[in-house]
C-alpha cells in the first residue's frame, strides 16, 4: 500500500480509506493508496507549520546542501524511480532513463544553486535620512498538487523551488499516479533527517479531488500551486480567494506549430510528431495543432503521416516503444470522444482508434480538413492526436494560432529569420520555439497566459514565485 508521508512517518489515512491504483497497460488494480481526509490534511499542515520557522531560518547553504543531496540520491536510486513511475503511467523505461531522470536531477540542482541567490534587488537612500532595504522571504507553508502526466517531474517543479526558497511543503500527487511521489517523500525525509532538519519540511498526502480541495481551503497554507486542468485551476483559484492565498497555476495548452512554405518539411514533420506524441500526447505543450502554408500542405501531410505511422505505442519494456498508454480509462474515453465527434469535413489521415483490447493504448493520429471553430481545434485533447489546418498568409497564421483560449506554448518552422522574429512577437504564448518544439532548460521559465494559467515554473522566475518582497526602512 502507498501511504501518506507526514512529519517524517509513513501513515495510512486516519480513517483507513484507500483508493485503487490502476496499471494503465492492463487496466487492472496493482496497488492501493491512502485516501486522505480532513484529519490527514490537518496533520500534514500542522507538521509543515511547525517545521517552517527552523527551515526558514536555515542558511541558504544548508537548504542547498539538502537539495544537492536529494539530487544525488535520485541518481543513485534512478531505477526505483523509473519503475515506480512507469508502473503508474506506462511510460517507456528507456525514455524515462534518458529523457526524464537527467532533467529532473538537473532541475533540483539548479534550484539548489538558486537557494543561495535569495536577495533583494537594491538598498539605498531614497528619502533623506532613511535607508531602504529589500528582503526576499519565503511565503510559508505551500499546498501543492501535481498532475498524472509527469508525476515525478512535476513534483520536482513544485517542491524544489519551494524548498530552496525556505518554504515547507504539503504535496498531493494525482490519485492515479502516487507511487513515485511517495518514493520521493521517503528520499527527502531521509536526507532531512541525515542533515538534521525538521521532519515536517516535506509532506505528502495521497487522495482524490476532495483531498486537494481540503488542502487548498485549509487556513494554514500561504500559497497553493497546481499543475492540472483548467477546471481544476479555476476551482483552486476560487477556493484560495476565500482567504486571499497566493496561487500558482500551470494549466492546459493547445500549442500551434506554424509551418511556413520555406521550412524543412521532413524535419518539421519529424520534430512535430516527436513533440506531439511524446508521453502519449499528454503534455500541455504538445505540438497538437499544426498550421501549414497551403503551398506545402500536401507535401507536409505526406511527411507527417509517415512520421505518425512510424511511431510505436506499446509496453514500457519494449525498446521500440515511443509512447505508452493513456493514463486512465477516463482519458481514453475523452480522446476517443473527440475522434468520434469529428465533423463531416474532417479526415483521419492516420490512426484514430484504440490499440488492442487491454489497457488504454491509442494509435498515433493525424486529422486534416479542420476549421478554426471545430471542437478538436478549440479544446485540449490531451492524447496522441495532431490536427492540421492550412493558411494562406502570415496574418491568417497568427489569427488561427492565437484563436484559442490557451496560451502556453507554440512553435514556428521557417528558414526566414525575420519572419521567425515577427512571429515570436505576435504569437500570444508563454513560449515560442523556432524550428524545434518542446525543449526545456532549467534556467528558462515555463508558463502561459489566458486559460493556461499564471506564474512560472523553472528558472529564477519560478524561484521568485515562492517568495514575498518586504521593504525595510531605517532611520540613519
From the list 302, 225, 223, the residue with the least C-alpha distance to 270 is 302
DSSP letter (8 states) at residue 200? G
**Which of 12, 85, 217, 250 is labelled catalytic?**
250
Please report the beta strands in 202-312, taking only residues with DSSP state E, as ranges in sequence order.
202-204, 223-227, 246-250, 256-259, 289-293
Q: Give me 416's grid cell.
A: 526566414
Distance between CA 250 and CA 235 in Å, rounded? 13
From the list 434, 394, 439, 431, the residue with the least C-alpha distance to 409 is 431
Structural contact between residues 260 and 391, judged by C-beta atoms closer than 8 angstroms:
no
Q: Give me 255's grid cell.
A: 500549442
Neighbours of 464 (CB within 10 A): 17
**Which of 284, 303, 380, 431 is labelled catalytic?**
284
DSSP letter (8 states) at residue 345? T
B/e letters for 170-196, b = 16+ CB within 10 Å, e = fewer, are bbbbbbbbbbbbbbbbbbbbebbeeee
Structural contact between residues 370 and 356, judged by C-beta atoms closer than 8 angstroms:
no
What 3-state DSSP class applies to 453? strand
What 3-state DSSP class applies to 319? coil
Annotation marks residue 250 as catalytic: yes
Distances (CA, A) of 13 to 38, 175, 204, 292: 10, 14, 12, 52
Annotation marks residue 25 as catalytic: no
Q: Known catalytic residues?
A: 250, 284
Amino acid at each position: 500500500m502507498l501511504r501518506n508521508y507526514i512529519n517524517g512517518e509513513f501513515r495510512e489515512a486516519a480513517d483507513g480509506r484507500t483508493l485503487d491504483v490502476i496499471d494503465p497497460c492492463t487496466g487492472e488494480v496493482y496497488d492501493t493508496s491512502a485516501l486522505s481526509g480532513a484529519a490527514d490534511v490537518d496533520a500534514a499542515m500542522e507538521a509543515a507549520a511547525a517545521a517552517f520557522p527552523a527551515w526558514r531560518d536555515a542558511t541558504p547553504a544548508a537548504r542547498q546542501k539538502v537539495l544537492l543531496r536529494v539530487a544525488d540520491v535520485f541518481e543513485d536510486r534512478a531505477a526505483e524511480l523509473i519503475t515506480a513511475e512507469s508502473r503508474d503511467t506506462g511510460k517507456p523505461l528507456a525514455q524515462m532513463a534518458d529523457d526524464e531522470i537527467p532533467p529532473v536531477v538537473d532541475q533540483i540542482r539548479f534550484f539548489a544553486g538558486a537557494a543561495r541567490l535569495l536577495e533583494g534587488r537594491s538598498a539605498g537612500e531614497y528619502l533623506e535620512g532613511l535607508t531602504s532595504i529589500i528582503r526576499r522571504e519565503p511565503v510559508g507553508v505551500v499546498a501543492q498538487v501535481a498532475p498524472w502526466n509527469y508525476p515525478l517531474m512535476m513534483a520536482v517543479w513544485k517542491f524544489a523551488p519551494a524548498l530552496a526558497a525556505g518554504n515547507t511543503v504539503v504535496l498531493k500527487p494525482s490519485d492515479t499516479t502516487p507511487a513515485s511521489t511517495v518514493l520521493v517523500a521517503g528520499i527527502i525525509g531521509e536526507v532531512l533527517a541525515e542533515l538534521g532538519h525538521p521532519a515536517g519540511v516535506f509532506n505528502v498526502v495521497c487522495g482524490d479531488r476532495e483531498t486537494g480541495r481540503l488542502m487548498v481551503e485549509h487556513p494554514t497554507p500561504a500559497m497553493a500551486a497546481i499543475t492540472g486542468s483548467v477546471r481544476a485551476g479555476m476551482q483552486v483559484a476560487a477556493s484560495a480567494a476565500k482567504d486571499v492565498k497566493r496561487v500558482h497555476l500551470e494549466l492546459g495548452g493547445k500549442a500551434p506549430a506554424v509551418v511556413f512554405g520555406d521550412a524543412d518539411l521532413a524535419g518539421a514533420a519529424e520534430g512535430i510528431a516527436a513533440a506531439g506524441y511524446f508521453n502519449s500526447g499528454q503534455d500541455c505543450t504538445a505540438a497538437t495543432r499544426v498550421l501549414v502554408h497551403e503551398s506545402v500542405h500536401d507535401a507536409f501531410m505526406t511527411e507527417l503521416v509517415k512520421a505518425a505511422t512510424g511511431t510505436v505505442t506499446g509496453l514500457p519494456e519494449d525498446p521500440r516503444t515511443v509512447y505508452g498508454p493513456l493514463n486512465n480509462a477516463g482519458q481514453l474515453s475523452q480522446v476517443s470522444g473527440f475522434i468520434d465527434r469529428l465533423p463531416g469535413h474532417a479526415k483521419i489521415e492516420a490512426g484514430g482508434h484504440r490499440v488492442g483490447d487491454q489497457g488504454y493504448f491509442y494509435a498515433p493520429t493525424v486529422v486534416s480538413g479542420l476549421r478554426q471553430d471545430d471542437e478538436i481545434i478549440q479544446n485540449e485533447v490531451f492524447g496522441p492526436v495532431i490536427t492540421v489546418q492550412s493558411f494562406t498568409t502570415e496574418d491568417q497564421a497568427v489569427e488561427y494560432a492565437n484563436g484559442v483560449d490557451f496560451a502556453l506554448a507554440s512553435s514556428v518552422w521557417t528558414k526566414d529569420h525575420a519572419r521567425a522574429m515577427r512571429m515570436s512577437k505576435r504569437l500570444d504564448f508563454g513560449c515560442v520555439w523556432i524550428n524545434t518544439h518542446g525543449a526545456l532548460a532549467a534556467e528558462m521559465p515555463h508558463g502561459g497566459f489566458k486559460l493556461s494559467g499564471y506564474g512560472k515554473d523553472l528558472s529564477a522566475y519560478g524561484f521568485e514565485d515562492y517568495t514575498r518582497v518586504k521593504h525595510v526602512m531605517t532611520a540613519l
